[in-house]
Amino acid sequence: MLALVTGANGFIGSNLVKILIERGWKVRSMVLKGTPLDFIEGFDTEIVYGDITEPETLLSAVEGVDVVFHLAAIASDWGPEELFMRVNAGGTLNMLEASARAGVKRFVYMSSVAVHAYNGHRGTDETAPRDCPSYLYYGRSKIKGEDYVNQFHSEGKIEGVIIRPGLFPFGPNDTTSFYKLARALEKGAFSYVNGGRAKVSTAYVENLVHGLELAGKHEKASGEVFIIADPWIVTWKELIEKFCDALGVKHPWLSIPYPVASIAASIMEKIWLLFKIKGEPPVTRYRALLMKDDLVFSSKKAQKLLGYSPIVDFDEAIKRTVAWYRKVKGKYG
């Protein structure tokens, strides 16, 4: 089986490439020219360059491929709507068209639980409404990407599979989320919203890519949507304190009520837009929402249909993530 992984040199992509190789797949890694290859250096993988927003660069990448794992995306809570729609939605359509034309059998699409409004979830499954608010462009772009996958599947052009990871993916090679979190914890610059009492679903990356691999090969996955989340349910406070203990730093004590955090985030977003400030605001409405209510999602469907179960437990996941952070500390700002 030949797999193509888009976004192969990123956080989740590099971990997926690793596990696919370990499980006997032939792997072609598609990366954006000019982006670092550190995380897949030394892997037995064919590297090809492509840009999902430029269809002509995708044709050779999908040639002879059995399964496409489409992970390349703008994964952020801040940026213009046009960018998210062009890359996350339009890029997915481009990949689907190229894949179908090349005769690819299956297309596994990395979506997000951000397709749902974060208004309280306690064991939510794949059938919940995709009611992401219109101002959260990332979630809206993922809904559009899912629609394209479903369209191609229903038309018989390709087998579509949609994966939504638990709310908080983390693990080695996570330079965008955990790395920044660890830096903030070390500096004592982290604060809870509502005391960190809300419960959350995590997706430790080695468990997540295990689920992705199953989705790529299991006959019952075709045409389905799966949530891949860890089985443990923790509050944000419990999770953060676990990280602090592993890092050897003090537990955060500051907590901000959600209404205050939301107002502050709205003001900051307006200032950033008004003055066209580069980078992202320190607080956004999306980040404030993360700790407002329980956001627990169920992987029962993946367990039943795919035989999914985590391969790394909670304490080991924390240990491995912090060990990676210590190894690369200072390298990513």
* Domains defined along the chain, listed by start: 2-167+202-230+296-311 (3.40.50.720)
Cα–Cα separations (whole angstroms), residue 148 to 90, 153, 333: 9, 9, 37
**222, 159 Cβ separation under 8 angstroms:** yes
CB 4 within 8 A of CB 61: yes
- Span 283-297, mean pLDDT? 95
SS3 145: helix
State the average pLDDT for the chain. Answer: 97
With a pLDDT cut of 90, the percent of the chain lying above it is 98
**Alpha carbons 199 and 330: distance in angstroms, whole number:** 31
Q: Give the Cα separation of 19 and 27 in Å (integer).
A: 10
Note the pLDDT of residue 333. Answer: 76
Tell whether the model's pLDDT for residue 119 goes beyond 80: yes
Please give the pLDDT value at position 12.
98
| CB neighbour class for 5 (10 Å; exposed up to 12, middle 13-18, buried from 19) | buried
**Are residues 11 and 17 in contact, defined by beta-carbon separation less than 8 angstroms?**
no
Q: Is pLDDT of 17 > 90?
A: yes
Is 106 in contact with 159 (CB distance < 8 Å)?
yes
pLDDT at site 8? 98
Condensed to tens digits (0 to 9), the pLDDT of residues 322-333 reads 999 999 999 987
pLDDT surpasses 80 at 48: yes
CA–CA separation, 270 and 307 (whole Å): 46
**What is this structure's pTM?**
0.97
**Is the distance from CB of 229 to CB of 310 less than 8 angstroms?**
no
| Amino acid 256: pLDDT | 96
In angstroms, the CA 310 to CA 332 distance is 29
Number of H helices, E strands in the chain: 12, 14
What is the model's pLDDT at position 9? 98
Distance CA 140, CA 144 (A): 6
Q: Quick check: 23 pLDDT over 80?
A: yes
